[in-house]
């Protein structure tokens, strides 16, 4: 599902004429098979979020290749990658990334609007997806009217709306209390058992343990990949 080949990345810092590069990723390679749940663990600044941003197309690698579902996505321009995301990727963020002026229904519906789905099909699909995460009765609530756990479930519903084969998650439980975290992790495991591939960035040992493999990254390099 995901193949990362010899990816390196460096950020330019400093003023014009005095710029220098700071390496963040150094010759990283990894593979995530279809149906796997893989976690990437590491301290803040280790390069794990940069790696996720490169896989998801929000950053171009300085060198190396990224393949998703057989497509060399590192060669795609911004417009083509945006289209690719709508068809193949779902995202779960630590801070939910819901649009505050939109209801739960509208937030989940948004990727379907971007895909050009007609209104009747969008309504059915959005209701179905909110029902799946147990929030249909909250469809007309705005994010500030929902608990953190409910907001994260709306975020998951938005990710699921387009039936993605792959979901990328960045610290998905970072803003949740321990009880809500347990519930969310159980739901993620159920989705994985249904066949959705997951790549999860975390610094939380409890989250790392739900995957089939945990990959540790430090100072921009992969240290080890172990079965959990």
Q: What does the domain layout of the chain look like in residue ranges? A: 2-227
User: Rounded to two decimals, what is the model's pTM?
Assistant: 0.89
Side by side, the strands of the sheet bearing 63-68 are 20-32, 2-13, 63-68, 71-72
Helix (H) or strand (E) holding 199: strand 197-202
The dihedral sign for the CA sequence 73, 78, 79, 85: positive
Residues 6+ apart with CB under 8 A from 43: 203, 218
Indicate the length of the chain as a whole number: 228
The pLDDT profile of the chain, 228 residues, written as one tens digit per residue, is 999 999 999 988 877 767 778 889 999 999 999 999 999 998 888 999 999 999 999 999 999 999 999 999 999 999 999 999 999 999 998 889 999 999 999 999 999 999 999 999 999 999 999 999 999 999 999 999 999 999 999 999 999 999 999 999 998 888 888 888 888 899 999 999 999 999 999 988 888 889 899 999 999 999 865 444
Is 2-227 in CATH node 3.40.50.300?
yes
Pairing label, strands 166-170, 89-93: parallel
Q: Where are the alpha helices (DSSP H) in the chain?
A: 48-55, 78-88, 104-115, 119-132, 148-160, 178-193, 205-208
């Amino acid at each position: 599902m995901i193949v990362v080949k010899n990816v390196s990345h460096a950020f330019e810092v400093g003023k014009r004429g005095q710029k220098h590069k700071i390496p963040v990723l150094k010759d990283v390679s990894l593979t995530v098979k279809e149906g796997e749940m893989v976690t990437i663990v590491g301290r803040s600044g280790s390069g794990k979020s940069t790696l996720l941003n490169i896989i998801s197309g929000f950053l171009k690698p300085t060198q190396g290749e990224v393949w998703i579902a057989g497509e060399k996505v590192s060669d795609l321009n911004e417009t083509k990658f945006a289209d690719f995301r709508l068809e193949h990727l779902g995202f779960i963020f630590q801070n939910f990334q819901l649009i505050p002026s939109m209801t739960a229904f509208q937030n989940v519906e948004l990727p379907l609007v971007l895909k050009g789905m007609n209104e009747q099909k969008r309504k059915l699909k959005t209701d179905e997806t909110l029902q799946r995460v147990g929030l249909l009765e909250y469809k007309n609530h705005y994010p500030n009217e929902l608990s953190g756990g409910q907001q994260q479930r709306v975020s998951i519903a938005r990710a699921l709306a387009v039936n993605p084969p792959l979901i990328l998650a960045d610290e998905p439980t970072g803003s949740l209390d321990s009880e809500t975290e347990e519930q969310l992790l159980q739901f993620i495991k159920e989705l994985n058992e249904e066949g959705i591939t997951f790549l999860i960035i975390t610094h939380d040992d409890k989250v790392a343990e739900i995957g089939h493999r945990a990959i540790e990254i430090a100072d921009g390099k992969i240290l080890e990949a172990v079965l959990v």
